[in-house]
Each structure stands twice: as structure tokens, then as C-alpha cells.
Structure 1
Amino acid sequence: MLDTVAVAAEDPNREQPWADLGLKADEYARIREILGRRPTSSELAMYSVMWSEHCSYKSSKVHLKQFGELPQETPVGKMLAGIGENAGVIDVGQGYAVTFKVESHNHPSYVEPYQGAATGIGGIVRDILAMGARPVAVMDPLRFGPLDAPDTHRVLPGIVAGVGGYGNCLGLPNIGGEAVFDSTYLGNPLVNALCVGVLKHEDLHLAKASGVGNQVILYGARTGGDGIGGVSVLASETFDADGPAKRPSVQVGDPFMEKLLIECTLEIFAAGLVAGIQDLGGAGLSCATSELASAGDGGMHVELDRVPLRDSTLAPEEILMSESQERMMAVVEPDDVAAFMAICAKWDVEAVVVGEVTDTGRLEIDWHGERVVDVPPRSVAHDGPTYQRPFARPDWQDALQADAAEALPRPADAAELRETVLRLVASPNLCDKSWITDQYDRYVRGNTVLSQPADSGMIRIDEQTNLGVSVSTDCNGRYAKLDPYAGAQLALAESYRNVATGGATPLAVSDCLNFGSPEDPSVMWQFAEACRGLKDACLELGVPVTGGNVSLYNQTGETAILPTPVVAVLGVIEDVTRRTPSSWSTVGETVLLLGETREELSGSEWAHVVHGHLGGRPPALSLQGEKALAALLHEAVGLVTSAHDLSDGGLAQALLEASLPSMTGASVSLAGVHEDPFVALFSESTGRVLVTVPAGDTARLTDLAARHGVPVTELGTTGGDSVDLQGLFDLPLLEVRSAWMATLPAALG
């Protein structure tokens, strides 16, 4: 056998393109130290992608490790799989488990919006599938530059079409997400994708290659040249001001192949034919082989020339780096290979035995009889660099926090208040998002209970018992800029509250932490503070972090995005037929506000839209108050007829959003909310929910709230065709709906 590894040992001084592959000088030196020689070109390719920021978390893992210190129990049961697996898995009762995770595909979606977003959905779906679960729903938290910016018009339609096109073809309902606009995302949109899957406890599968002699099977789509270097170059560098300096190919998705792969894999699971499994996403074969071997018995031998190719000219290092989609790798006992192959043939999914598990403790890869890789797999997959990046509170933070929005000019009279309400409801962040969400199938599979524009998405997972789960994703990047510790906690609190408004019990967290360059100490301070804030809040709320994703280098030139720690919360509801809707529809019910309103306007949508202002401190947060509110909402299921969280835009926005779906208005008084009507309408104080109850049940809810220590203010009564703010002004719903629905179609066509 020709031995490229031996040649590398005999030719130590050959120059290698380690810098072009995204490696630092000290990282290249460390690889040579591990191997005792220079790496082969194939080994260099593997280390470069696996040691990239995207795959190794080298700048973030020192801060992420604190999430592993959180309790691994939820209010329902234990966590069955957590951080370090493809996705977290939690017990939701009745023998069911749910797996969910949110990840990013930001930079690819800027370079190639449709395919970047589509393959983001495909990748997160395969992460869920790899745990042994059937994917049942997706969500898409999105961030864009200003709505009127030409580049937003370039990326937004393609991203939305990619999310919808891939998810719709898979037959997965899109049950929620966000679409947020801010100037810092210009040139660096955020495309985060979440998937939820359902499995029985006994169906859980993990990514490990155990059992010497077990066969390693690659199945799914053929390997092509798309996505080569995607994670090492594209997702681990900032963009230059004129656009990405390096544009490696973005992955190209085939949702119909993925659908076959899902059904094929689920049948293989049901037949009990898999000893270990891993999807091929970021870093492709480099990731799958090294992670499976590292997590198993520690050895694997692979014949790389057996890999089915779409492009016969690919070199071995390109095959190892390719991020072609719709591929999985399974570890199968020899006696089960024939049955495995038969199921793949049934679904018209190509499958090839490419290697076997060994006891050598090495990952050995051959190419046409030539040894091109011989490495300790753990050094590739898990023992990459760990950076203690310097971080420091930026010198501008004090001035930013001192510039409070509470001092900004306010509406002078009722007419200006009314104009401000209409201006905000039509603003890009608060307007109707159906231009986006109507491109998604929200009801395919027939188990969607709540979706956009409800506070949270809800899916029934058992058609006999009506057991269901609810999911919400949230983050206000302006709050995180003002105070990253508090901003992460506020994101968690809003997502937690949104799940609770539907009647579900919040159980667990997944996060997608989107930040600028880790080489900037100010950005690393924001990241460290956000992690610390999230950990402390999870501890107090009693919810574990099951896993997530970190996306760094989200900046263009010197302009970093707003720190955007997106937090997804998953909750369980025993009977989805008893869920609480987010809007009212019955005339004559009592409208009440749960929670306390304070003068908190810094970081608010009002300050952003009306004044273009960001400064001050974000709203105060009581995590114990949020727990009490969630407990109240859970106990009040069946009593409250609707529940809508107050967040961006405050009470004014909540009143309109609760009225518009059924075009049923309300007559309300702000007198008990706050002495200043402006504060009552636009404050973004936390821990507040707008609810309705039948007219005769007001006292029952008031008594229940008192037992939970939650303040209650009676506002008025539902009915009519307008929102009548008594003594101030009237807002006909037809006028409001016209303003609310016009914004995105006018901008995007």
C-alpha cells in the first residue's frame, strides 16, 4: 500500500496551505505535535474544518461549560440526552420524549439566500432524526437589515422561500419564529432554524461507533463539491465591508431526497438495525467519522474511494470537507447489513459500506489503496483548541446605559398618542408577518394546534391522549446591547412566558447564541455576560439547557450585529384541546392585565421606531414573578379564554394583536395601569399578560392571581369593531388592520 502518511513523515518541511484553510500558526503547530509529523493534505483538511469556530466552539466552550452545571431534571421528568449530542432529548410523560434544537445558518444565507436557508432547515431536521425521533415541526427565528435597504430586498425573499420550500417539501409544519429588522444585521442576516421531534424513550439513538467489526455505512445523497470549506472559511470569519471575501460553495439541498432519508431511517430504527448513527452536516465526512469513532470504541477504518460521488474529479480532501446534504452514517452489526441495505433499496436510498469499527484507537482512511489519514479521532473531534479569549466591558457601555429613553420627547396629547400607536403597529418589527408566514405550510400532518401569529407554536404528539408540546423562540437584541446579562435573561423570560400563555408547562431550553467577532474583547464580554445570565436564569426557573449552537463572527467590517442570544423554550401540555388561544373572539368578556406596569421605555420599540434611539437600561426582570405568572396561567386553563404576552410594543400592541384575528374589539380604561397613559400604552415592563375571562368569572381569576401573588388590573370588556381607549381615542380595527398588513407587501411586493 502506498502510504501518504509515511511520505508526510519523511517530508516534514513541505509548505502547506494551513492559513488558507482558516488555521492559525499555533493550531498548525499543535497538529504537527499531535501527529509527530506534518499532516497529510487530507488530515489538514479534516483538522481545519473540525477545529473551525463553527465546529469546535474554541472561543465559546469555556463559557458554555457552565450550562452543564444546571440540574438535568425538568418539572415532568429527566433529560434523556443533553449537551454534546446532536440534540437534547427530554421526557414529556406517557412514555414519550421530545428532542429539539435551534442552530444557525447565517453566513451561507447571506451568500446564497435560498440554498443557505433551505439547507439550514435540512441540517437541523437531520440532527433531530439522528436522535431516533420523527421530526414533527420547524420554526425560523430570522433577523434582517432595515426593511427599506436594497440588500434586505435581495436576501429576505430568498431566505423565506428557502425556509418554506424545504420545510414544505418535507411535509413539516412551520409553527413559529420571528422576523426582526435592525441596521446591524445589514450584510449579516441571521437565519436560525429549530426542529422538534418525537420519539418513545426506547427509541433513543446516540452518535457512537462501538463494536469491533461493526460496519460503517454511508447512505443518502451522493457527495458533491458543494459546501467545501463552508464551516472553516465562511462561518468562522467576519465579512468585509464590501461582502464576503471568500465565497466557498454553499450547500445545495434536495428536500425530496431528505424526505426519503427520513422515512428510510425511521424504518431502519424500527427494525433495530443501528448501533450508532450520525448525520452529515457541518464538516461532512470529517465530522461523522471522527465523532463516531471518538464517542465509541475509538477506532475506525474507512475506504474513502467507496464513497458515492456526484463529481468523480473530487480529491480525497475535498470529499472529506464536502458538506453535501441529505447524508447519514450508521454503524451496523455485520449480520444486520443485508436487512439495512434492503430497507435503503426499498426507499431508493443509495447505501454503501465504507468502513468498519476497529480497536486501534485510530481513525484510518485509505484512498485507492493509499493511507491518507491516520489520526487519533478524539484529537479531531473533541480535543481541538480552547481559547481563553480576552474580554472586557467596553468603555462605551456606561455612556450607553446613561442615555435613557425615558428622557425622550413624548406625545403631547391624545391625537399624538393615537398617531404613535398606528405608527408602531405598522413598523417593520410589529407589523403583520403573514407575507412571510403564508409561504409556510403551518398545518401539514394535521397536528398543529397553535402557530403564527399565536404567542407560541403547539403540536399534538399523541392523537389518543392529546398530549402536546409548545415551543417559542425569542430575543430582543436591543436589550442585550444595553445589558447582555439581562438581555439573555429577558429573552428566556419572554420565551418562557409565551409557552405559558398557551397553557403549557415550560420544561427546557435550547439556544442559538449569535454574536460578532470573538477577537473583539467587547464582543466576548457580551457573550460571556449572556452565557452567565442565561445560566443564572435557568437555575432560578428550574429549566435545563439541552444544547444549542454558537454563531460568532457575525459582523461586517467593524460593525458587529446586536448581541442576539435567541432562546427557545419547550413546554408540555397534557391536553391540547384545552390550550389557551392568544386572541379573543367572544363579545362581552372581561379584559384584565396580569402583572405590573412601570415606566420602562429604554430599548423599547417606541424608542427605536419614533426616535431611532438605543440607550438606557432594559426593563427590570423578576424571575420569581415569571414563575408565579406561569403557574397562574397553567392553573387558569379553562378559566381564561385568551392570554397574550406583553413584550415589544407594550400594551398598545397586545390589545391590537388580541383583537385583529377575529376583528373583535374592546373598550378599555388605562386608569389602573399607570397614571401616565403614554407609559401605560408603550412601556415594555416584563411579567405581564393580557387575558380575558367570561364576565361572571372575574372574581375567580382575581382570587387565583392573589394566591399566586400576581397583580391584576381590570381593563374593560370585549366587543365592537374598534379598540376604544376610554377618554383618549378610538381605533377602528379596519383602520388598524390596513396599517398593520400593508408594510411588508408595500416594501417587498
Structure 2
Amino acid sequence: MSLADSDRELVEAELGRDPTTTEAALFENLWSEHCAYRSSRMLLSAFESEGDRVVVGPGDDAAVVALDEDTYLTFGVESHNHPSYVDPYDGAATGVGGIVRDTLSMGAYPIALADSLYFGDFDAEHSQYLLDGVVEGISDYGNAIGVPTVGGSTQFHGDYEGNPLVNVACVGLLDADRLVTATAQEPGNKLVLVGNSTGRDGLGGASFASEDLAEDAETEDRPAVQVGDPYTEKLLIEASEDLVSANLVESARDLGAAGLGGASCEMVAKGGLGCVIALEDVHQREPNMNATEILLAESQERMCYEVAPENVDAVRDIADKYDLGCSVIGDVTDSGNFVCEFEGETVVDAPAEYLADGAPLNDLPTEAPPEPTVSIPDTSVASAFDAVLASPNTASKRWVYRQYDHEVGARTSVRPGDDAALLAVRRAEQGVALSAGANPNWTSAAPYEGAYATAVENATNLAAVGATPLAAVDCLNGGNPEKPGVYGGFTNIVEGLADGCRDLSVPVVGGNVSLYNDSATGPIPPTPTLAMLGTKSGYDAPGTGLSGEGTLLLVGGHASGLGGSEYLAQFDGSDRFPALPDDPADRVAGLASVADLDSTLAVHDVSDGGLAVTLAEMLTADAGLDASVPGLPELFSEAPGRAVVETTDPDAVRTRVDAVELGHSDGSGALSLDVNGTELAYEFEAVADARDTLAAELD
């Protein structure tokens, strides 16, 4: 770790002296891109984050939205990209642990996870190694702590080969009167560290996440990767419940990036206060740790609580009950300074607000993404259908989500594999829907339009289960922002996502930025992962499988633009991105109302692979379809905001949304398609085998 010369000059001017070794390391981490958003903070004002049901917006460990006046949901997302390349198992596992602790710090109980994963070409051995390790890390950690993984996405694209992405979202549930924030409240209160002991793992993780991955990262950067302990995390979850229930917590922050230094400094800075911390009082698991190591290690399963002096003994008792470490490490002060002492020496003494928020912003040049050329491959409908259906991007992801426990907690009404998960929140008598993901083919082809489509796609997923959007969080992933072309693409996805969410009237209440996702193989595609919550009355949804007894309607109608489609990816073509809907909010609301009709038998949105894959996914062993499509472009276009509805009352659908008739479903268990005079016919078993290519290869 080393503080950049330009930053050191600013720090020296502020302090009026040279920084100590520990201060320099602390500034270097808190002023890193990962913590300070130096290249992105100025862009984030594009997002609208306020709304009637927004309780806590951006800036805390997680956002909070209201289901009703008594019941709140927390919502957050984070990335663990670099660690998951260096050590896929621990990198992914600790990403789950971190976002769960963000939920705990708001006083909530975690009820659902969604992971959005991005890897290089599936055929590459290294991509399969990363995929296997990441999925195992997520499943082992999530299953052990008893939080269901109910949704997400898995994408493959050659530009992730040197830098995969692991983005994890978490939803928490709490009563309104249990809300805790990360804002320190009162001078004289104690800072109490609860959880695992502090070691040297994860040292400098924040600065590591703010640099391009080097070719030797898998060996040289392994010490910067945290090591998780899910069984301690489970104890911490239950201890947090007890602490909040007993009203023992004034404020809280999870120890994530920059470890104790990040959590404690940000807490007191948010409250306009200061603190004095005795670093030697931190419970440690390794001998001879120095001040910098204790302050900046990112050891997992640790929380920092602000506690009134008279409640410290009660906090200790609860920690003992769950066999967790507990250290009273310092005091909140009114000085405004963040002070750390170690064995009688003051090693940090700097303004807390300057440490937490004083990093200067970067003024970086941008280059507009190039206009795509138009090169449509000349392929037969049959060969195109076979190739797109068997692509790893459109293939069944059962191999991934079958490893996750998605029913623990008894709230999961719609499980992974459908358009959106649906959770039953019975205390509020509401269903809560969750969708998460992005499509790198879209944003590679057209960053702005692809990001806008990402917002529409997630909202359409919610509508397919009858839910209307409530709020969203984003994980904005980009390459090295110092490259003008890369930064131009990143700027475009921010603008596109912000405009899409605004047009949908969905507040973006929090999120995460991850830049420097660059390696020897080049930058990643600009990737705007979006996680979106929706609500509905009741806990039922029509499902995506055909019943065999209805008319098939295409909501939103046919589209012909092929830009960003899996079809072009399979055959090395290019095109402009398809037209975006003029009325996304009305279309989403209309589709949600259609999904709740008694006459609606099935709903499935059109996305990866276009209409071809949507129809194939709706097949069941007992129900098939007979449909017609105008041509190959209409079959494979991935224009957002569209869905196929199976209904016994087509007129009831048309009164709510624009839709065209495709054909009808039947009991054949086969797919029959007429594509501009070309007949395609597939049995259910053949389609299922084609879509199981992922499992066949990995098993």
C-alpha cells in the first residue's frame, strides 16, 4: 500500500505535518476508488433516489423502503470481483457475508439473496474453474447461514476472461421501530467490536479492488482476499437480532472495505463526531499485529456498534451467549477527529470527515462508444434456432441454482428459474418480487440503450409475476476509467440506467461502483447490474410453463432490431440496438395487471435469445405450442419490455396492453413454429436436452 504523491500533498496540507505510516495507509484505503468513488461520484447524481416509500436512501450500509407503516425492507448490493478471480471460493463466499452484514447493520434480518455472475467464454477451462468455485462459495456460505438464494443471473462473455464479476444483492426484513443506521449518535458512547477476531486476511483489500488485475494476481494478491466463516456469521445474525430487540444499539456498521478504519471512521463522520480508539484492545487471532494491520485488516464476520455506556455489559452478555468475541475499543467524542492509539502512541489523528469524504474527484476524459456497423449473418432459421437454444447464455442455469437452498425461511413462493423470485411477507400481507441481472451483449453493443433496457428488463420480470416496481439498487461495473473509451462506456451505462429507472418511476435507493475491472486480457464490458424489488397483493403468480389450454399473445408486439442479441453473438454479426419502448411504465403496469387475471395461465418475458428461447422455455412435457413468427429477426430480437402470455381471454389482455397473437398452446409437449414459411418442430425432450448443455458439461 502506498499513498499517491498528489494525495499525500493534500493530506500534509490538511494535517500540517507528514502523515504517520498508519495514517498514510488509512488515507490510501479510504481514498481509494473502491471506497471514495473518485471517478464515479459525480455521475451518480443522475439517479433519482427519493420516493414516498423510501425511508433511507443512498449512503448507508443498505437502503430501507417501506412495505407499510409498520414493516420495512432493507435492500443492498455489492461486488466482490477481484477477490473472486484470485480465490473464487473465498472471494464469492465473503461477498455474500459482506452484503448480509450490511443488512444486519440496519437492524434487519436477511431473508433473500440474489447473485449476478459474469464469466469468460464458457468453453474456456479457466472460466469453468471460476464458475465452479464461485457457485460453491456462494452456496456453502448462503446455505450455512440460512439465507435463501432465490434469484440472479449467470452470463458468459469473452471479455470477462481476465476479470469475472460477482455481484450479490440482499433483502432484509424489519419492523419500523427496529431501524438502525450508521450515523453515530452521542459523544460519550462506546464503540464495541463484536464477532470474529481480527487477523491479517484481507489486508489492503480496498486498495487492491481499486487497481487493474495483474497477470500474477492469483498468487501475489491472495493475502488481500478475505477468508469467510459462515458459522460465525450465523451466530452474528442471531446476536444482532438480540441486540436490536433489546434496544442496545445506537448505530452500527459492518466491517467491510478498509476494515475497522473504514467502519468506525465513517460512523463518526456521518454523525459529525469523532472518536478515540485503542487498537491494542481489539481482539486478535494472530500475534504481533501492528497498528496498521489491526486498523485495516478486512477479516470477516465483524460488526462495530455504538453502545451507551450503561448497555455495554448487556452487549457482552449477548456476545458471550453466541460465543462471539467482544471488545470495547473506544469512545465517541465531540472533537470531530478520528484518533487511534496503539500501545501508548497516537498513530492516527485526523479529521474524521476529511478521512471519510475528503478524497478529491477525478476529472477524466471520455470517448463516445463507436457506432455499430450493420452485419447480419446469412443463416438458416433451423441452424440459428439450434445454436441460440444451446448457448450457455440461454441454456438452463439449473446447475447453478440447484446448489442453493432457496426455500429456507419458508417465504419463497416463486423459486429460481422463473422471471422473478416471489417472497411471501405475511406480516404485511404482501408478496415481494426480486429480479437481478444485466446482459453484457446489450451494453457491449450500445452502452446507453443496453443499460436502459436492463432497467426495463428487470421491471418486466417483476411484472411477469404480477408485481409492480418498488425500488432498485445498482452495481455499476466498469474497466479502467483512466482509458477514455472505457470511461465513455461507463458514463453511458450510468446515464442509460438512470433514465430507464426514471421513466419507470423506480427510485434507485443505493448501490455499489466497481471500477478497474481490467486485466491483461482487456477491460470488461460496461456492466450495470440492477436488482429491483416489486410488490403485489398475495403470494401467487401464474408461472412460465404452458398449461396447454390457451391462446398465446406477445405483449409489446414483434421487434426486428438484433443489436446485442445472442443470435448475433453466435454468428459474429452486428446491428443497431432495437428500439426502446416509449411507455415502459405503462407497459410494465399493464403486464402486471394481466399476470393477476384469473384467465392468465402463464407469463414469460422475452429477453436472452429472444422469442425463440422464450417459447422453448415455456414448453413442458405435457404442454406444447403452435405459433407463427414473421421472420428470423423477429424470432431472435431481444427488444426489452415484451412478454408471452398464455390466456383463455385474449380480449381481457388486449384491454390492458398492446399485444399480437402468436398462436395457441396444446397438449402435445412439442414446439411447432412457422417462421415466414419455414417450419420448425421440436419435441420437449429435444429442447430440454439442448438447454441442459451447461449441466452436461459441468457434471
Aligned ranges 1:336-735 → 2 under 5 Å? 336-394=311-369, 397-398=370-371, 401=372, 403-405=373-375, 407-411=376-380, 417-462=381-426, 466-557=429-520, 559-577=522-540, 579-584=541-546, 586-609=547-570, 611-613=571-573, 615-634=574-593, 636-639=595-598, 640-659=600-619, 662-670=620-628, 673-674=629-630, 676=631, 678-694=632-648, 697-705=649-657, 710-726=658-674, 728-735=679-686
Q: Distance in 1 between matches of 2:395 and 2:410?
A: 28
Q: Secondary structure at the match of 2:655?
A: helix
Q: CA deviation at 1:78?
A: 2.3
Whether the 8 Å contact between 2:561 and 2:578 is mirrored in structure 1 is yes
What secondary structure does 1:371 align onto?
strand
Structure-1 separation of matches of 2:93 and 2:493: 29
**Equivalent of 2:688 in 722, 733, 737:** 737
The equivalences for 1:147-162 within 5 A come to 147-162=122-137
Cα distance per residue 1:601-652 (max 9 Å; x no partner):
122101111x133x33212111514532433422540331211000111111
In 2, the alpha carbon distance for the partners of 1:272 and 1:679 equals: 60
Cα distance in 2 for partners of 1:244, 1:439 equals 26
AA partner of residue 698 (structure 2): L
Give the alignment partner of residue 88 of structure 1, picking from 63, 86, 89.
63
- Kindly provide the amino acid, as one letter, of the partner of residue 158 in structure 1: G
> Partners in 2 of 1:174 and 1:616 — Cα distance?
36
AA of the residue aligned to 2:221: R
Give the distance between the partners of 2:41 and 2:491, measured in 1 at CA: 10
Cα displacement (A) at 1:71: 5.5
Which amino acid in 1 is paired with 2:13?
A: E
Is 1:193 the counterpart of 2:152? The answer is: no
CA contact (8 A) 1:644 1:689 kept: yes
CA displacement at 1:120 relative to structure 2: 0.3
- What residue number does 2:34 align with? 54
* 2:610–2:637 CA contact under 8 A, matched in 1: yes
Cα distance, 1:122 vs. partner?
Answer: 0.3
Q: Give the match's secondary structure for 1:458.
A: strand
Bigger mean CA offset, 210-219 vs 245-254? 245-254
Over residues 93-140 of structure 1, what are the superposed CA-to-partner deviations in whole Å (9 max), with x where a residue is unaligned?
Answer: 252111111211000000001000000000001111111111001011
Residues 148 and 747 in structure 1, CA contact (< 8 A), matched pair in contact too: no
Q: Please tell me the residue identity of whatever aligns with 2:666.
A: T
The answer on whether the counterparts of 1:502 and 1:582 sit within 8 Å (CA) in structure 2 is: no
> Deviation digits for residues 435-480 of structure 1, max 9, x if unmatched?
1111111111111111221101111122x56412111112121221
Partner Cα separation in structure 1 for residue 558 and residue 660 of structure 2: 11
The answer to whether structure 1 residue 240 and structure 2 residue 240 are counterparts is no
Matched, 1:324 2:299: yes
Does 1:72 pair with 2:50? yes
SS, match of residue 686 in structure 1: coil
Partner residue of 1:16? Answer: none
Q: Specify the code of the residue in structure 2 equivalent to 1:49.
A: N
Over aligned residue pairs, what C-alpha RMSD do you find?
1.7
User: Which residue in 2 is equivalent to 1:11?
Assistant: none
Q: Deviations over 1:383-420 (max 9, x none)?
A: 212112121215xx13xx1x224x32131xxxxx2343
SS, match of residue 536 in structure 1: helix
CA distance in 1, matches of 2:282, 2:640: 54
| Amino acid of the structure 2 residue aligned with 1:135 | P
Structure 2 spans left out of the alignment, 5+ residues? none
Residues 246, 59 of structure 1: CA spacing in aligned structure 2 closer, same or farther, 3 A cutoff?
farther
- Residue by residue, what CA displacement relative to the aligned partner does 1:680-716 show, whole Å, maximum 9, x if unpaired? 321222221011123xx223223333xxxx2332421
Give runs of aligned pairs for residues 41-190 of structure 1, distance below 5 A.
41-67=21-47, 70=48, 72-73=50-51, 77-93=52-68, 95-190=70-165
Return 126-135 or 334-343, whichever deviates more: 334-343
- Provide the secondary structure at the position in 1 that maps to 2:435: strand
Distance 1:465 1:719 in 2: 39
Gapped regions of structure 1 (runs ≥ 5): 1-19, 412-416
- AA of the residue aligned to 1:582: T
Q: Which residue of 2 aligns with 1:7?
A: none
**Structure 1 stretches of 4+ moved >6 Å:** none
TM-score (norm 1): 0.90
Alpha-carbon distance in 1 for matches of 2:635, 2:366: 38
Q: 1:248 to 1:157 in 2, by over 3 A?
A: closer
Please give the alpha-carbon distance, in whole angstroms, between the structure 1 residues aligned to 2:185 and 2:634. 61
Change (3 A) 1:565 1:636: closer
In 2, the alpha carbon distance for the partners of 1:62 and 1:465 equals 37
| Worse-superposed segment, 210-219 or 589-598 | 589-598
